Amino acid sequence: MELKDRIRYIFFDADDTLWENERYFRAAEEKFAALLSEYTSPEGLQQTLWQKQEDNIPLYGYGSKTYMIGMADAAMELCGGTLPEHIYYGIKDIIKNLAFHELEIIDGVVETLEALQGRYTLIVATKGDLPEQMGKFRTSGLAKYFHHCEVMENKDEKNWLELIAKHDIKPDELLMVGNSVKSDIAPVVGIGGWAIHTPHDIVWVHEMMDMPESDKIIEVKEITEILKYLI
């Protein structure tokens, strides 16, 4: 049986699958490095910031607000326990620009969604700050293609099992399309679903992991290639 005959529900990751995201975080890191240049090297700052992010994600989740807390924590440590006023307001300005940048839809996304709409139930499955992610979804212009958007607490096997139970979806009816092996591919295949990996040229270090071996994983170079498996 072909994949298109098995699948009823297609979940799409949002950030760096439907629209650009990580490149804006990298740009924010560069601005942060410039802001803290008198205190440390870019490499030293990056390592400190990444560690603060890893410490804060279990407490505050994902999104630009958590990123701001991580920047403040990193700056406080690098500045010797006191946060100068210009650093504080500089961080706020960086995060404001990060949170409210104009969305850039990835090439091929609209074409792909138009071809799939009506053939399957399409759902966005993302993680992060609820207002932030729903704001992106609503302003993206893509909402008309989807049944709805799920903003998940995390995207591990436990969260995926809770999600499909809520919608009474059998794992074998589910296909996940996304760029993150850790969040989009491995856990979905782990619960018995199918996954298509659509790589992005920039990957957040938190999302890096090796691709698992499975006959339920398809790898493509760009999102439009998924159509040859689904139509």
Q: Which has more confidence, 1 or 37? A: 37
Q: In the prediction, which pLDDT does 193 show?
A: 97
Which residue pairs, CB below 8 angstroms and at least 24 apart, start in 157-164?
157/187, 157/190, 157/191, 159/187, 160/187, 160/188, 160/190, 160/191, 160/193, 161/191, 163/125, 164/191, 164/193
Distance CA 176, CA 117 (A): 15
Q: What is the predicted pLDDT for the residue at 204? A: 59
Q: CA-CA distance, 194 to 122, in Å (whole number)?
A: 14
Residue 205 pLDDT grade (very low, low, confident, very high; cuts 50, 70, 90)? low
Q: What is the mean pLDDT of residues 153-162?
A: 93
pLDDT of residue 167: 92
Residue ending a domain, choose from 99, 127, 143: 99
Query: For the segment 175-199, what is each residue's pLDDT rounded down to a tens digit?
Result: 999 999 999 999 999 999 999 999 9
Domain count, the chain: 2
Summarize the confidence of residues 148-166 as an average pLDDT. 93
pLDDT, residue 46, reads: 82
Based on the fold, state whether residues 203 and 119 are members of the same structural domain. Answer: yes
Last residue of a domain, one of 99, 127, 157: 99
Does position 130 have pLDDT exceeding 70, yes or no? Answer: yes
Domain boundary among 67, 99, 131: 99
Same domain for 146 and 215, yes or no, is yes
Give 150's pLDDT tier (boundaries 50, 70, 90).
Answer: very high
Stretch 108-112: mean pLDDT, rounded?
A: 98
pLDDT at 92 over 80: yes
Q: Are residues 31 and 13 in the same domain?
A: no
Is there a contact between 94 and 205 (Cβ–Cβ < 8 Å)?
A: no
Verify that 139 and 226 share a domain, yes or no: yes
Per-residue pLDDT, 209 = 65
Full domain range(s) for residue 11: 3-20+104-230
Count of alpha carbons within 13 Å of 163, Cβ hemisphere only? 27
The reply to whether 87 and 161 lie within a common domain is no
| CATH, residue 214 | 3.40.50.1000
Global pTM reads 0.85
Helix pair 64-78, 22-35: axis angle to 10 deg: 20
Residues 60 and 141 in one domain: no
Distance CA 50, CA 208 (A): 13
pLDDT at 132: 85
The DSSP string of 95-142 is: HHHHHTPPP-BPTTHHHHHHHHBTTBEEEEEEES-HHHHHHHHHHSS-
Predicted confidence band of residue 61 (pLDDT cuts 50, 70, 90): confident
